[in-house]
């Protein structure tokens, strides 16, 4: 099984940028579709973005399209989330998630589809 460790969170002003990373260890990273979710205080965990095993397909929730970019480096076993034009409503704990799947092109979008989760990294956006 793969283990996931997020990093890169922090406190930033609205309009700023961050790059989150998720380092994977254990089983071959390229066997996993991976994604980012977030959970704000008092709210349920929500899908943010995901990327296929090959990296060729991505999917974003509407609220982050044009501002967030998901990418992966299979050689480094690392998932990234570039976050630009941050808004206070982006404040949340961000989690990476992974699932081993056969398809190189499928992009899982629902939390129950994933079976490996990191511990999360806090992103706080001040207005």
SS (HEC) of the chain: CEEEEEECCEEEECCCCEEEEEEEEECCHHHEEEEEEEECCCCCCEEEEEECCCCCCEEECHHHCCCEEEEEECCCCEEEEEECCCCHHHCEEEEEEEEECCCCCCCCCCHHHCCEECCCEEEEEEC
- Residue 116: predicted pLDDT: 97
Q: Is the dihedral of CA 57, 63, 66, 71 positive or negative?
A: negative
- Residue 114: predicted pLDDT: 98
Instruction: Please tell me the distance from the alpha carbon of residue 73 to that of residue 54, in angstroms, as a whole number.
Output: 10
- Residue 1: predicted pLDDT: 86
Instruction: Please tell me the distance from the alpha carbon of residue 49 to that of residue 78, in angstroms, as a whole number.
Output: 15
Instruction: Please tell me the distance from the alpha carbon of residue 53 to that of residue 67, in angstroms, as a whole number.
Output: 22
pLDDT in tens, the chain (127 residues): 899 999 999 999 999 999 999 999 987 999 999 999 999 999 999 999 999 999 999 999 999 999 999 999 999 999 999 999 999 999 999 999 999 999 999 999 999 999 999 999 999 999 9
pLDDT tens profile 20-52: 999 999 879 999 999 999 999 999 999 999 999
């Amino acid at each position: 099984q793969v283990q996931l460790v997020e990093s890169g969170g922090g406190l930033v002003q609205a309009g700023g940028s961050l790059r989150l990373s998720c380092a994977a260890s254990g089983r071959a990273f390229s066997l996993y579709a991976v994604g980012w979710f977030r959970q704000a205080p008092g709210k349920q965990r929500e899908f943010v973005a995901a990327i296929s095993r090959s990296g060729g397909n991505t999917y974003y929730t509407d609220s982050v399209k044009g501002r967030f970019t998901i990418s992966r480096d299979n050689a480094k076993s690392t998932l990234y989330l570039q976050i630009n034009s941050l808004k206070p409503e982006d404040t949340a704990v961000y989690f990476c998630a992974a699932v081993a799947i056969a398809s190189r092109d499928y992009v899982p979008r629902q939390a129950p589809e994933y079976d490996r989760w990191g511990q999360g990294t806090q992103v706080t956006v001040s207005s």
